[in-house]
Chain A
Amino acid sequence: ELKVEQNPLFLSMQEGKNYTIYCNYSTTSDRLYWYRQDPGKSLESLFVLLSNGAVKQEGRLMASLDTKARLSTLHITAAVHDLSATYFCAVHYGQNFVFGPGTRLSVLP
């Protein structure tokens, strides 16, 4: 059974700082996804990572995938308040997507 872990689970950071969220998974998979969820809202797709060494960037967020280490990272550069949300990684496995527990990010002024 695939297990997906994230850390940290809670992250409070000041505007302008950098930080990285980590996503580990237990079984081989070559497809990993990052989603953002605002409170009470749906899951918004951020990145699709399809191969070892894949790196995607959008604005202040950059995601990477190391399939050998079964690790993905979501790096936040110069955080702003608008990035406050919960971030989930999800791994495609069989006929479904297995989600990590989420990282709740608060960016403080």
Chain B
Amino acid sequence: EPEVTQTPSHQVTQMGQEVILRCVPISNHLYFYWYRQILGQKVEFLVSFYNNEISEKSEIFDDQFSVERPDGSNFTLKIRSTKLEDSAMYFCASSDTGVMTEAFFGQGTRLTVV
């Protein structure tokens, strides 16, 4: 069964460092998303991406964040200068353009900023 895969599963980084979180969406999907979830809390929308550009972003997605689809399969989230409050689980998701438009989520990357 097709699935969204994310790497790494866990990343520990020092405050101020840059991190890149990687995702491989389901191959025939056209919409891609990043969400984050601080431990035990709400699932928060960061950004959606379609047709090689950002289609929508939240107020959380400031200049420290960027997304890229460097090739036909990967979808990345970069955080330029990490802060302690960036520690969270980051989920990538993808969906198709059909009626269902159901989002399928990857297993997540747990980012710990120390």
Residues of A within 8 A of B (CB): 31, 33, 35, 41-45, 48, 50, 88, 90, 92, 94-102
Contacts and interface: CB of A to CB of B under 8 A. Distances in A.
B43 A94 contact: no
B15 interface: no
A42 B90 CA distance: 10
Most buried by A among B44, B100, B101, B103: B103
Nearest to A4: B42
B42 A101 contact: yes
Contact of A41 (B35, B48, B104, B107): B107
B33 A42 contact: no
Given A97-B33, A98-B45, A102-B42, A48 B107 contact: no
A96 B48 contact: yes
Contacts of A42: 91, 105-108
Interface of B: 31, 33, 35, 42-45, 48, 50, 55-56, 58, 91, 93, 99-108
Given A45-B102, A48-B102, A50-B100, A95 B50 contact: yes
B102 A33 contact: yes
Given A50-B99, A88-B43, 15 more contacts: A33-B102, A33-B103, A42-B91, A42-B108, A43-B43, A43-B105, A44-B105, A45-B104, A45-B105, A48-B100, A92-B101, A95-B48, A97-B33, A98-B45, A99-B43
